[in-house]
Amino acid sequence: MRHTIIKTLLLGLMLAGGASSVWAENTVQEFGRESATNWTTSSSTTNIKFGSTVTLNGLVMTFGGSTYATPQSTNGSTFSEDFWTWNSNNGGVVPGFMPNNGSTSSGVISIAVGDALPTNGAVYKFELSKSGTLTINGKGGTTKGKIVLLQADNDNKVTAVLRQDAATNTAVTTTYSLEAGTYYFFQLCEGAGNVNGYRYTLKSIQFETLEPVEGLKVWNFEESGWKSVSTTSPLGVIQDQLWLSGSITYDAAQTRYNIAAGKSNQIRFKVKKGQKGYVVIVAKGTNSSTGIQYGLGSKASVDNTSKVCVGTIYKVYTSTFVTCDADKDVLIHTDGNMGYIKKIAWVPNANSATALASVTMGTAGFSTFCPTATVNIPTGVKAYILNSCSGTTATWNEITGKIPAFTGVLLVGEGGTQYDFYCPSSSSSAIDGIVATGPTPAWYNTASTQQNILVGTYKTTSIPASDATTSYYGLKKNTNTFGLVSANVDMPAGMAYFSVATAEVKELHEFIFGLSGATAIHTTEQAMPQGKQPFYTLSGMLVSGNPAPGIYVKGGKKVIIK
């Protein structure tokens, strides 16, 4: 949506002949708004005044360009304020005359470093407060005068000619990737005397900013803030340093983004030069061969394209270790079929030689854990997901080898011992059905024993008090017991909890982790008096009969049998 604001300004401008003149109480138009990303001319923008501006997110374009260019006609008299006029034949706005230096014989036909900017004419000035991609759509008035983009110093001397493109008298869209700074854009005259002739038609400008990501960044599409984000315009939208373009729609019922088939439908973010880390995707691609396409490169070209999260089950994919030699775009899209995205993350400063996380077990040898990237399970540690919980029984499954990113798990190891978790040095393939968060039924492969209702916390998370509808459980400190959350509590990042329907567990206040055998199917019993509680080994194995001499866990505490 475009709107016009009328300002009253007092402008003092230098005429080409050296004399000064003041425009008394002239009106200057402003088009657009700071949150916009594009501006398109229309018949309502006719008679744009010299000095008018278009304001977009991170960009201000001024009609008139050079800081001392004036609306002066070729005979030296003051030109009308209505300098750019609507041209219905060309479908855009055209200026009163082409860039010149104050006379019919001074049309600017070439420009180089050290030259002065044109003092008069259709020069467009772009001031960028952020790095981004500037797209200009226009129609040249001739095929002979080149289209130029350049920079100048405070004395209006050209310091760099960034682009010189051949002109065409058909509409052309040109895209420039630019750093923050000031730039000038115009078409050179076909000849010195053609300042009134072959004028450039401006149709639209677009500016997309994408700040490079620093530090851990997680885009979680289950959070309510994403519901209002759409991609209805061709440009798409940016939210929280994430760029969405093409046909991507938010599915509120499934709390996910649906990406239509085709590489033009993209989710994109930029990683800063020099950063190292991992790209994490939690998604499913419905195509059995292509799945979700992931790559690192630029908007126009993607290197190292990988086919990940293939199939109908949500998977967690952690990329190979990434080192960026320049600001890089991370692109995620589909090819042959639609895909579904739950989470995207950038996890920096982790490699095979540096631990992503360290976990110190409680004195009973238990801890919950949620890594932000896929990690190897260290020697001496077992990891379990919680498959289901009903009545007085919870069913656990051991996972081996790796813990996928954002997966909540229960760790069992030596009490009081610190264990370091490292990312694999190579690509970490997904594990079907093990997911980053829950419990949302559509999120899981419900027919699989790999369903996980442990919710991992990648950031500090507020856990509400249990009520008549939902019961929340968290691991009690230094025990193997999950206790009912009875009041609101903030759970730190890197841990896990679970919730179940209160009707399923009735008045149960505790679940005690235990094993029923070597099948990796685990059960828990309702809390019972200390004297009747069973013994477990430090690794969590249930001890049948009388325990042999050694150290065991009973009622969440270590005991020594002599």
Least confident of 106-115, 170-179, 471-480: 170-179
User: Residue ranges of the domains in the chain?
Assistant: 4-209, 217-348, 355-513
Confidence of residue 540 (pLDDT cuts 50, 70, 90): low
CA distance 186 to 165: 11
Closest by CA to 170, choosing from 198, 144, 138, 145, is: 138
**pLDDT tens per residue, range 183-215:** 999 999 888 878 777 789 999 999 988 888 988
Q: Which residue has the tokens 């001739």?
A: 142
* Sign of the dihedral through C-alpha 346, 349, 350, 355: negative
Q: Answer whether residue 559 shows pLDDT above 60.
A: yes
Contacts for 279 with CB less than 8 Å, ≥ 6 apart: 294, 296, 318, 319, 322, 330, 344, 345, 346, 347
Q: Tell me the mean pLDDT in the region 118-144.
A: 87
pLDDT at 310: 83
CA distance 362 to 355: 20
Tokens of 163: 């682009």
Confidence of residue 471 (pLDDT cuts 50, 70, 90): very high
Half-sphere exposure of 206 (CA within 13 A, CB side): 15
Antiparallel, parallel or unpaired: β 382-390 and 409-412: antiparallel
Contacts for 301 with CB less than 8 Å, ≥ 6 apart: none
Contacts for 271 with CB less than 8 Å, ≥ 6 apart: 212, 213, 277, 296, 322, 324, 327, 328, 330, 346
Query: In the predicted model, what is the mean pLDDT of the chain?
Result: 78
Residue type, 42: S
Q: Which residue has the tokens 């300002």?
A: 7
Secondary structure class of 343 (helix, strand, coil): strand
pLDDT at 8: 25
Least confident of 6-10, 285-289, 399-403, 460-464: 6-10
pLDDT at 96: 81
pLDDT at 35: 79
- State the fold for domain 217-348: Jelly Rolls (2.60.120)
Closest by CA to 112, choosing from 148, 87, 77, is: 148
Asked if residue 407 lies in contact with residue 434, where contact means CB atoms within 8 angstroms, the answer is yes
CA distance 549 to 562: 5
**pLDDT tens per residue, range 415-437:** 999 999 998 876 444 444 444 44
Q: Tell me how crowded residue 414 is: count the other CB atoms within 10 A of its CB.
A: 14
Provide the percentage of residues in the chain whose pLDDT is more than 70: 78
3-class secondary structure for 488-528? Answer: CEEECCCEEEEEEEHHHHCCCCEEEEEECCCCCEEEEEECC
Q: Tell me how crowded residue 228 is: count the other CB atoms within 10 A of its CB.
A: 9
Q: Tell me the mean pLDDT in the region 337-365.
A: 88
* Sign of the dihedral through C-alpha 198, 199, 200, 201: negative
**pLDDT tens per residue, range 251-300:** 888 888 999 988 888 898 989 888 888 898 888 888 777 788 888 887 66
pLDDT at 120: 77
**pLDDT tens per residue, range 11-55:** 222 223 332 222 223 346 788 888 788 899 988 877 787 788 899
